[in-house]
Chain A
Amino acid sequence: MPTLTPDIVPGLIATGASARLDEDVAPKFSIGDAVEMKNINPVTHTRLPRYVRGKKGIVERDHGVFAFPDTGAHGLGHKAQHVYSVKFSFRELWGEDHAENMYLYIDMFDDYMRPAP
């Protein structure tokens, strides 16, 4: 009997599988904090794109606790941690010649960030 059969498809599609974890993990950052993305270059799975590495932003929203894909993708456990919406100006990301009223928001895990110096 195959694992994925037609009878379970509707239920799977309608339910999905949230990466949100019901674990009590303290956030390392608060809304309004100035943060700097770590300049790391893992050769393994990561959700930290190169274009924000080393860049400074502001924590806009705390989405709650999620499984950490960087470890989960390699069978190394959930490493439950907070995910935040972090706001970057285009000037910070791409240079001073960009308009002032342009922003990039990206969801960052605790492990990707440190307090901005």
Chain B
Amino acid sequence: MPHDHPHPHNKPLSDVELRVKALESILTEKELIDPEAIDLIVETYETKIGPRNGARVVAKAWSDPAYKERLLSDTTAAISELGFSGVQGEDMVVVENTEDVHNIVVCTLCSCYPWPTLGLPPVWYKAAPYRAKVVKDPRGVLDEFGVSLPEETEIRVWDSNAELRYLVLPKRPDGTDGMSEEQLAEIVTRDAMIGTDVLAAH
């Protein structure tokens, strides 16, 4: 292994690291996996698939009303038009934020997340505190993210416990009328597509 990585070498491996290494060894010895295949999967999600994909979907929906209509009615196919499909995005639902409605996504049972459009989930999304609190006190969670919504705003929390994966279509911020689709994609944050962020006016 090359020594250009920053971790200290005098520390024992954590329980999780040991477990992962043990699993990889067993799967390799049983000839179920080639470890290079695992490296390729990790590399793909580290460098190729991430929230910039989802941002392109959002920017196109904001710029092209016909696309937005397809995105809301035939979601998986519309996202696939942009080349984003596959594992953990096989059956997609897009929920739209408006003046009156704010949507937030969670998976209370584990960490289900739309990989083709958002990549792998952030640690907090997988952690018990977020999963337990957002279904009971979403405004409290939003407050922790620095987001405050008017009391009149209807809150919808989506628990993606089954086989559907959810992407929030954020409300297009004020002051972005002159922006191109490419410029719009730049301002869309990952958290806005989970629902824990609201995009600021420009």
Contact = CB atoms under 8 A, between A and B. Distances in A.
A43 interface: no
Contacts of B91: 18-20, 63
A2 B33 contact: yes
Contact of B154 (A3, A9, A102, A104): A102
Contacts of A3: 31-33
Contacts, number: 117
A15 interface: yes
B108 to A, nearest CB: 5
Given A13-B44, A16-B88, A49-B159, A6 B37 contact: yes
A28 interface: no
A101 B109 contact: no
Contacts of A90: 136
A17 B135 contact: no
Interface string A81-102: 0010100001001100001011
Contact of B89 (A16, A99, A107): A16
- Chain B interface mostly helix, strand, loop or mixed? loop
B87 interface: yes
Nearest to B41: A9
A12 B37 CA distance: 11
Contacts of A17: 87, 90
Given A10-B44, A63-B164, 16 more contacts: A1-B31, A2-B37, A3-B33, A4-B32, A4-B33, A5-B37, A49-B109, A67-B163, A90-B136, A94-B136, A101-B153, A102-B154, A103-B155, A106-B158, A106-B159, A107-B161
A107 B163 contact: yes
Contacts of B90: 16-20
Given A6-B40, A49-B109, A105 B157 contact: yes
Contacts of B159: 49, 104-107
A49 B131 CA distance: 12
Interface in B138-185: 138, 151-164
Interface of B: 28, 31-34, 36-38, 40-41, 44, 49, 85-91, 93, 108-109, 135-136, 138, 151-164
Interface residues of A, number: 40
Contacts of A103: 154-157
Contacts of A102: 138, 154-155, 157
Nearest to B87: A16
A18 to B, nearest CB: 4
A109 B159 CA distance: 14
Contact of A51 (B93, B135, B154, B164): B135
A38 to B, nearest CB: 15
A12 B157 CA distance: 31
A76 interface: no
A114 interface: no
A14 B36 CA distance: 18
A39 to B, nearest CB: 17
